[in-house]
Structure 1
Amino acid sequence: MSKPSIEEKIRENEWLLMEGNKILKRKVPDLEKLKNEVKEAEEILQKCKQVQNIQQKHDLITGIEYEISVTRIAMNRATRELEELRNSKSKSRSSSKSGGSKKRRSTKKHRKR
């Protein structure tokens, strides 16, 4: 077994280099394709996050709108009850005034007798 000559080592290295380049040329397009797919996936992920944020904001707005409608209903009910209370008080005042004056008249008539 003789030692390989320098020329043989050079030829072997050149052959390995050529084979490596062939493999690299085959793999680089795959690598570029993968990089593009990763970029697309990241863009889709960002869009999903935006949609999720929009959905959360929409849910928050819907909740606020619901609270506003519940508050309006309660406010309208309270306003109606207040009006009914005012009306019933004014009716009771007017009836008590007229009833009170009738009593006075009757007592005055009674005194005159």
Structure 2
Amino acid sequence: MAEKIFREPKAVLIFNCRKTLVLVASSVNEAAKISGLKPGNISKACVGTLISNGMYYFRYIDSDIEIELSDIGSLKLDEYDKLCGVERPIYPTMAMNRRKWKYNKNNNV
């Protein structure tokens, strides 16, 4: 029988629709239990394949950045992305939909 290889769980930051940090979960599975969403979709939202999932934004905690309890309720999603050095799309409004988004129709990529 093949030996199973388990990865060390990564902590997950959960931001609400106002783009404010509301929760730090110890793993994707814990975030799924808390939010009622599927772990696979949460993982995709953490790495950037999905913008959000179920009215929440998810990010893995970067190993170079320290998150403190005082950051809950005050840390904004765009601030965290800047600290990580990544630029990811986020919805412009709290409705978290794509209304009034501008698309480049000439771009075939």
Above 0.5 in TM-score?
no
TM-score by length of 2: 0.14
The structure carrying a bigger strand percent of its residues is: 2
The structure carrying a bigger helix percent of its residues is: 1
Bigger radius of gyration among the two: 1
